[in-house]
Chain A
Amino acid sequence: MYSSELIKGTLKTIVLKLLSENKRMYGYEITQRVKDLTGNKIQITEGALYPTLHALEAEGTLITETEYIGKRVRKYYSLSKEGKAKSKEKVNEFADFMNTMKFLLDIKPKQA
């Protein structure tokens, strides 16, 4: 399990990447997919996920559709046109960040 600080900083990127690979997903599905893909190493908490989803929806990155599952409502999230571009941008940014961190963390011990 990674620390919540690390996950919080990458949550948007994770959500956007997952949605770029799936047409639409609902909250629980996202948490389960992340859990499965990472072998339980990353567990997204509901307390972090839903505020992020709402914020992304509010800024127009995500679009939503609702479906009734019996008496309850399920909200599906998918990427908007801007969201698709943002997803690529976020993944590229994070890849660059990882390379920088890799370089930084690999080099530093050697210098010391």
Chain B
Amino acid sequence: MSKNLKTPKKGAGETLRELYEKKRRQSKASDSLVEGLVKSEVNEKQQKRSAIKHDMEL
């Protein structure tokens, strides 16, 4: 049965560790994600100010 089956490569665990680190280094946030997470607070404050202004006008 085993004639047709593959067996583990030597140093498989080490290679997988290297691949893990390589992939991790490739992570990069898109400009729009960073921009969103920076500006969302500004937007929230603007929305709150607008809501307060709106309430006062009423």
Binding partners A and B = no
Question: Which residues does A use to contact B, with CB under 8 Å?
Answer: none
Question: Which residues does B use to contact A, with CB under 8 Å?
Answer: none
